[in-house]
């Protein structure tokens, strides 16, 4: 009887051990990796003071453009497009200006607050307090968030993708009220010591373009 009891106890211990190993392996599988918290994403964005990157843009018609990105938070962004596009987008002084060589009547200007870019460029990003995050998911070691102002649904939404380790902004996709999507994919995003303020001066750019 003692031998039988000993064998049963050993089998129970082995069974428990296998359960522990199974649960450990199951929970550490990549599909169960933890998404970055909204608090940590907010902190990361707020710490992005001055950065540069190369970018590729996938337009709603499937065409692709490329160029150089400059961000000087809060409130300032510049997208310089390479030929043959040669377009220029500047966010500064509370506005977003789109310069297009095909248009000779000057830039198209929108208030920054009425665009999804404001959710990335605003001074104090707090994704928890503002309650603007409609999606928050994780896949393949990336965290995805969709941000939209519930009071301004007609202004569209922005989907941002972050690598988890380390936290790094990889791309964003803007969807307008007509459900047209424009995706910006970032390459070699890097912090810099300074970015000249004139790069975000819409009036100065208007004079040069004209």
- The domain limits of the chain are 36-209
Half-sphere exposure of 96 (CA within 13 A, CB side): 14
Q: In the structure, what pLDDT confidence band is assigned to residue 5 with cuts at 50, 70 and 90?
A: low
pTM: 0.82
Q: What is the pLDDT of residue 156?
A: 92
Distance between CA 108 and CA 87 in Å, rounded? Answer: 12
- Residue 146 clears pLDDT 70, i.e. is over it: yes
Query: Could you tell me the pLDDT band of residue 102, with boundaries at 50, 70 and 90?
Result: confident
Q: Give the pLDDT of residue 168.
A: 97
- Domain 36-209 in this protein, CATH class: mainly beta
HEC string of 85-121 equals CCCEEEEECCEEEEECCCCCCCCEEEEHHHCCCHHHH
Query: Is residue 28 predicted with pLDDT exceeding 50?
Result: no
Query: How many CB atoms sit inside 10 A of residue 188's CB?
Result: 8
Q: Is the pLDDT of residue 7 over 90?
A: no
Q: How far apart are CA 132 and CA 203, in angstroms?
A: 32
Please count the other Cβ atoms lying within 10 Å of the Cβ belonging to residue 183. 18
């Amino acid at each position: 009887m003692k031998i039988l009891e000993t064998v049963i106890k050993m089998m129970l211990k082995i069974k428990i051990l296998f359960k522990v190993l199974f649960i450990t392996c199951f929970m550490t599988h990549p599909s169960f990796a933890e998404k970055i918290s909204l608090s940590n994403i907010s902190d990361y964005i707020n710490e992005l003071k001055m950065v540069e990157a190369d970018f590729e843009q996938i337009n709603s018609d499937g065409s692709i453009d490329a160029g150089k990105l400059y961000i000087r938070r809060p409130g300032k962004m510049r997208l310089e497009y390479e030929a043959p596009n040669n377009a220029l987008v500047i966010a500064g002084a509370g506005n977003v200006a789109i310069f297009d060589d095909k248009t000779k009547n000057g830039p198209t200007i929108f208030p920054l607050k009425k665009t999804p870019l404001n959710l990335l460029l605003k001074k104090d990003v707090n994704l928890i307090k503002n309650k603007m995050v409609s999606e928050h998911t994780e896949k393949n070691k990336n965290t995805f968030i969709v941000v939209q102002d519930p009071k301004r649904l007609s202004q569209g939404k922005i989907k941002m993708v972050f690598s988890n380790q380390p936290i790094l902004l990889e791309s964003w996709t803007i969807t307008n009220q007509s459900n047209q999507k424009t995706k910006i994919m970032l390459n070699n995003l890097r912090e810099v010591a300074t970015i000249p303020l004139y790069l975000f001066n819409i009036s100065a750019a208007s004079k040069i373009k004209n």
